[in-house]
Copies of this chain bind each other. A is one copy, B any other.
Amino acid sequence: METFSDGVFAIAATLLVLEIGIDESSRDVGRDLLDLWPSYLAYATTFMTIGIIWINHHHTVSLMVRVDRTFLFVNNLLLMVIAFLPFPTRIVAQHLNDDGARAATLAYAATLVVTAVIHQVYWQYARRGRRLIAPGVPDSALRGVDLAYLPGVPMYGAVLVVAFFSPLTAIFLTFAIAAFYLPSAALFER
């Protein structure tokens, strides 16, 4: 399961760059490159967000001793939304500067909310009654993951609300969440 999952994470993150581009017939390459800043911002935000989810996924799998059919189904749903992220990222990159900014950012934030919900279901299913958890793992380790997963849905829910009023603020907020959580998620991996 891990090879396939790791592959999907790495490929989804690396495919993001394909969404960035300028017109081949561009007359002012320098200016067009600067005008692409929404693409760069969307790229960095999603890349770091995938990085966080990957680190969390890796850590939780290391706590498990077995999987069952429901869990594998949920894991596949999780990979399906991760692999989908390059699409709303491109929509944001293309429309953060125009009339479509609100719709684009709402689609982006909604995808992140769905991702956070599935990731929470993924963890709670494995953790409830220690269903899939290895015997040697202390309860404190489970509570540590609980705390790390707790803010996911409300945070991205807040991004969704902000997106209604200010698309740009919503993207910066997502960026800040990723920049803040990336090193703390990384802590698990020590």
Contact = CB atoms under 8 A, between A and B. Distances in A.
Interface of A: 1, 3-4, 6-18, 20-22, 24, 26-30, 33, 43-44, 47-48, 51, 54-55, 66-73, 76, 79-80, 83-87, 90-91, 94-95, 99-100, 102-104, 106-107, 182-184, 186-187, 189-190
Top 10 nearest A-B pairs (CB, nearest first) are: A7-B10, A29-B100, A72-B186, A30-B103, A11-B14, A69-B183, A29-B103, A69-B186, A73-B183, A14-B83
A33 B108 CA distance: 11
A30 B184 contact: no
A140 to B, nearest CB: 19
Contacts of A99: 27, 29
Contacts of A67: 186, 189-190
Contacts of A3: 3, 6, 10
Nearest to A76: B51
A86 B190 contact: no
Nearest to A182: B73
Contacts of A13: 8, 79, 83
Contacts of A69: 183-184, 186-187, 190
A189 B184 CA distance: 32
Contacts of A94: 24
Contacts of A17: 12, 15, 83-87
